[in-house]
Amino acid sequence: MTHAPWPAPYSPQPLDATVTIPASKSLTNRYLVLAALADGECRLRAPLQSRDSELMVGALRALGAVIREVPGSGSAPDLVVTPVPAGTPVDAVVDCGLAGTVMRFVPPLAALLRGPVTFDGDTAARVRPMAPIVAALQGLGVRVAGAEDGFMPFTVHGTGSVEGGHVAIDAGASSQFVSAMLLVAARFGQGLHLEHTGESVPSVDHISMTVEVLRSLGVEVDDSTPRHWIVQPGPIAAFDVELEQDLSNAGPFLAAALATRGTVRIPNWPAETTQVGAKWREILPQFGATVTLADGVLTVTGGPDILGVDIADTSELAPSTAALCALASTPSRLRGIAHLRGHETDRLAALVAEINALGGNAVETEDGLIINPAPLHGGLFRSYEDHRMATAGAIIGLAVPGVEVDDIATTSKTMPAFPRMWASMVAQTAAAG
Ligand SMILES: O=C(O)C1=C[C@@H](OP(=O)(O)O)[C@@H](O)[C@H](O)C1
Ligand SMILES: C=C(OP(=O)(O)O)C(=O)O
């Protein structure tokens, strides 16, 4: 599909804006899966409404869960979910789009049903790593057809139950392989002892999120031994939850404060959270920003200069972080993000190509990026169907006149209102100034 390029708003004036962010993708899609497995009707209040959450709703409906939209207090309707009992007959095709949470979290659930479920997605999804999920299911005796190459499409042939037990996989390419198995494990006959055999697991905060959410629903999880997770069999308690806003998606807006030497406030910032986006409070000061959390409002004010950083394990925060590095006055290094090569696109290659196309100086390392200071100029910033590439282009465009993002609509993956929210942030500033 061709898109009209989006002229990124340029703001030579310091921003002074307050922004509210839609709900967390990672929490919404975890709670949706758990609702489909729970021991009664569940309600998600103020959930995310975006392509990834709609794909998850579509996947669970295809598997037999009943999901109703009901009016709630958030901007998106609440979701009321009637679970699908293990053993339910099924014959379905699931469109995973480009959503890692759908393509990794739903196949283990399909294994508990009786019948074939085929998983496929966007062309770009067919190169995202899937082999460890297939290996885990096969290791537990589940038949998976068409997955010899380790990619979608493939078909899970559930027999109505999974006995569970011990299984070992290499989850080095994505934490989602671990999360996927843990989310469903309490519904296996014997529960699950999952072992990671490779080097380190990336995005460990997302695994902690999975463990904490499971525990909050009464599931017993032992993660006290590194690389091992033991989930006891048992019920997943029905729940009624209010979703937190997406702190990762808060990132581009907070970065805007630094890019314009202005101030951005985000109300309803959770005091305690399992989201990786909590790390913005540690990351942004390293770039020279002042960050405070008072009365639930996170306030970020950019310093006179953006300083270079040396940071490890930024996970899905990396593209926004890299955009700030491209605007920094001293060199930066981002480490521990080799697995970004298997995200929506090869993010390391994409960031290097697009930062350098604007005159920047970025190079790939084995496990990340080195970004050196260089004067940037306007031009086309390509998003590669990756929402976080699109928002990275928007951040740079605030500070560099003439940047255009080729496909801003790709932000609909997790934040369909992004272009309107971004314009409104800049307009608030114009009104204030
Ligand atoms: O479990 C999750 O909700 C996610 C886990 C992470 O995946 P990786 O471990 O593949 O980075 C993260 O990057 C992704 O955006 C969401
Ligand atoms: C890696 C990401 O998404 P996914 O859930 O598709 O893996 C992301 O949102 O940065």
- Does position 417 have pLDDT exceeding 90, yes or no? yes
**pLDDT attached to residue 433:** 46
User: Which positions ≥6 away from 243 have C-beta within 8 Å?
Assistant: 23, 24, 27, 28, 31, 44, 45, 46, 47, 48, 74
388 lines ligand 2 (CB under 6 A): yes
Residue with tokens 């921003």: 15
Task: Report the CATH superfamily, name and number, of domain 25-242.
Answer: Enolpyruvate transferase domain (3.65.10.10)
- State the pLDDT confidence band at 10, using cuts at 50, 70 and 90: very high
- The conformation of residue 189, written as its DSSP 8-state character, comes to T
Q: What's the distance, CA 236 to chain centroid?
A: 23
Rounded Cα gap, residues 33 and 318, in angstroms: 26
- Are both 6-22+245-432 and 25-242 of the same fold? yes
Q: What number is the average pLDDT over the span 122-151?
A: 98
Sort 355 into a burial class: Cβ within 10 Å, 0-12 / 13-18 / 19+. Answer: buried
Find the 264 Cα to ligand 1 centroid distance in Å. Answer: 26
CA contacts within 13 A on the Cβ side of 318? 32
**pLDDT attached to residue 432:** 52
Q: What is the pLDDT of residues 276-323, one digit of tens each?
A: 999 999 999 999 999 999 999 999 999 999 999 999 999 999 999 999
From the CA of 27, the nearest ligand is 1
Domain range annotation of the chain: 6-22+245-432, 25-242
Q: Letter for the amino acid at 251?
A: G
Q: What is the pLDDT of residues 195-249, one digit of tens each?
A: 999 889 999 999 999 999 999 999 999 999 999 999 999 999 999 999 999 999 9
**pLDDT attached to residue 37:** 98
- Does position 2 have pLDDT exceeding 80, yes or no? no
Q: What is the pLDDT of residues 326-365, one digit of tens each?
A: 999 999 999 999 999 999 999 999 999 999 999 999 999 9
Q: What number is the average pLDDT over the span 137-164?
A: 98
- The conformation of residue 243, written as its DSSP 8-state character, comes to P
**pLDDT attached to residue 1:** 60
For ligand 2, atom 7, name the residue with the nearest CA.
100
Q: What angle do CA 321, 372, 253 make, to 5 degrees?
A: 25
Nearest to 347 by CA among 385, 394, 303: 385
Q: Concatenate the DSSP letters of all residues of 22-84 into one string.
A: PBPHHHHHHHHHHHHHSSS-EEEES---SHHHHHHHHHHHHTT-EEEEE--SSSSPEEEEE--
> Do the beta carbons of residue 407 and residue 432 sit within 8 Å?
no
- State the pLDDT confidence band at 73, using cuts at 50, 70 and 90: confident
User: Which residues are the active-site residues?
Assistant: 316
347 lines ligand 2 (CB under 6 A): no
Closest ligand 1 atom to residue 316 Cα is: 13
Nearest to 36 by CA among 217, 220, 168: 217
Secondary structure of the chain: what % helix, strand, coil (to 5)?
Answer: 35, 25, 40
- State the pLDDT confidence band at 149, using cuts at 50, 70 and 90: very high
CATH number of 6-22+245-432: 3.65.10.10
**pLDDT attached to residue 430:** 55
> Do the beta carbons of residue 362 and residue 326 sit within 8 Å?
yes
For ligand 2, atom 10, name the residue with the nearest CA.
316
- Does position 400 have pLDDT exceeding 50, yes or no? yes
Q: What number is the average pLDDT over the span 380-400?
A: 98
**pLDDT attached to residue 377:** 98
Closest ligand 2 atom to residue 340 Cα is: 1
Element (H, E) at 228: strand 228-231
From the CA of 52, the nearest ligand is 2
Residue with tokens 């001293």: 330
For ligand 1, atom 16, name the residue with the nearest CA.
26
**Average per-residue pLDDT in the chain?**
97
**pLDDT attached to residue 3:** 76
Indicate the pairing of strand 368-372 with strand 332-335.
Answer: antiparallel
**pLDDT attached to residue 75:** 82
Residue of 32, 205, 337, 343 to test ligand 2 pocket, by largest number of atoms within 8 Å of CB: 343
128 lines ligand 2 (CB under 6 A): no
